[in-house]
């Protein structure tokens, strides 16, 4: 028998903190048992959505795409050097919308690197091939013999002691259909958790390990050296965004091996529970690529998923990643 029950711990509409008007019983999240399917309005998104709508920027136009995540930016030419005021506005916009999209930006590799470098030092990825002339640009070149395996929710290089602040991805060549990238707001995901679960995970630490995904790419003779250079690292399960002050879920199924102090089964179940929050459609934005589109995302605040539905068509993307800070 199917039973519908109210979601325990549902926050009031319009906030992630319990303030604001009571939405009433029929504007609350419900759970359909025995499946655990949640339906109904995700009311805690309202306040942030309205706050984002009130933001204004002097140097470009903004078109919001998702409730609390994603905006398309118009009025900027990324191929040209940007004034400091534009960069400052983009930083503020990125903190709010978490991922920014740009159309018709035919960046050369040099221009791509120059734009990303306005926001910090750039990484060189040790496991993914790079553009031959720009080592800071990871090159994802997929076709019939090289499939796309990025179709799982993850945060880039969370296995680094200092993971990326963000990433700038440029579409060099796209298939006629498919190959979209989806982004999930992990701040909204945290705000949507039951208060009891928020309290439970507040002081937990997770172990992140590159070898879960990239271990098979390392030659046997190089494994000891790579392990010494990139040992497993511990990051908080709930990190605080250094600019917005928002708390967010910081575990993913690609790179998190276990939660410290838990037995394996309990740890696996909790990682799966928290990582699954990225799958909530209301926390997402989906971007359909065109040639020379650009996405700039805050790797601290979002997870992303590259849809691998275009095989055997060709898809070529290049990414510059900006060095961040240790999660706290």
Active site residues: 154, 156, 304, 319
CA angle, residues 50, 154, 79, in degrees to nearest 5: 70
Residue with tokens 């969370």: 158
Residues 298, 95 contacting (CB under 8 angstroms): yes
Q: 292: left (phi > 0), else alpha (psi -120 to 50), else beta?
A: left
102 close to 77: Cβ distance less than 8 angstroms:
no
Nearest to 161, CA basis, from 226, 238, 231? 231
The angle at the Cα of 198, spanning 197 to 199, to the nearest 5 degrees, equals: 90
Give the list of residues 6+ apart from residue 279 with CB closer than 8 angstroms, or none: 153, 184
| Nearest in space to 171 (alpha carbons), one of 148, 140, 131, 144 | 140
> Helix, strand, coil proportions of the chain in percent (round to 5)?
25, 30, 45
Helix (H) or strand (E) holding 172: strand 164-173
- Please give the span between the terminal C-alpha atoms of the chain, in angstroms, as a whole number: 45
Tokens of 229: 């250079």
Which residues are 321's β-sheet partners? 167
Task: Report the C-alpha gap between 237 and 186 in whole angstroms.
Answer: 12
- Kind plus residue range of the DSSP H or E element containing 317: strand 315-323
Residue of 300, 299, 126, 157 lying closest to 228 (CA atoms): 126
């Amino acid at each position: 028998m199917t039973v519908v029950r109210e979601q325990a711990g549902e926050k009031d509409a319009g906030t992630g903190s319990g303030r604001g008007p009571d939405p009433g019983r029929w504007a609350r999240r419900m759970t359909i048992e025995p499946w655990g399917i949640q339906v109904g309005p995700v009311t805690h998104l309202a306040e942030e959505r309205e706050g984002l709508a009130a933001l204004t920027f002097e140097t470009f136009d903004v078109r919001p795409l998702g409730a609390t995540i994603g905006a398309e930016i118009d009025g900027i030419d990324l191929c040209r050097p940007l004034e400091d005021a534009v960069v400052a506005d983009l930083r503020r916009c990125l903190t709010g919308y978490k991922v920014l999209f740009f159309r018709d930006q035919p960046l050369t590799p040099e221009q791509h690197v120059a734009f990303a470098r306005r926001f910090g030092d750039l990484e060189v990825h040790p496991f993914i091939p790079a553009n031959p002339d720009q080592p800071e640009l990871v090159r994802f070149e997929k076709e019939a013999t090289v499939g796309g395996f990025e179709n799982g929710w993850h945060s880039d290089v969370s296995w680094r002691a200092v993971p990326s602040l963000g990433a700038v991805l440029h579409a060099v060549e796209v298939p006629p259909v498919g190959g979209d990238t989806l982004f999930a707001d992990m701040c909204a995901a945290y705000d949507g958790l039951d208060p009891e679960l928020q309290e439970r995970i507040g002081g937990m630490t997770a172990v992140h390990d590159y070898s879960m995904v990239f271990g098979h790419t390392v030659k046997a003779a190089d494994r000891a050296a790579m392990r010494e250079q990139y040992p497993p690292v511990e990051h908080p399960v709930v990190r605080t965004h250094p600019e917005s002050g928002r708390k967010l879920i910081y575990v993913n199924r690609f790179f998190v091996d276990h939660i410290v102090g838990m037995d394996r089964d309990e740890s696996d179940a909790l990682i799966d529970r928290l990582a699954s929050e990225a799958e909530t459609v209301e926390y997402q934005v989906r971007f359909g690529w065109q040639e020379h589109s650009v996405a700039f995302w805050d790797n601290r605040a979002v997870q992303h998923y590259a849809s691998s539905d275009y095989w055997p068509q060709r898809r070529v993307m290049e990414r510059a990643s900006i060095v961040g800070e240790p999660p706290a």
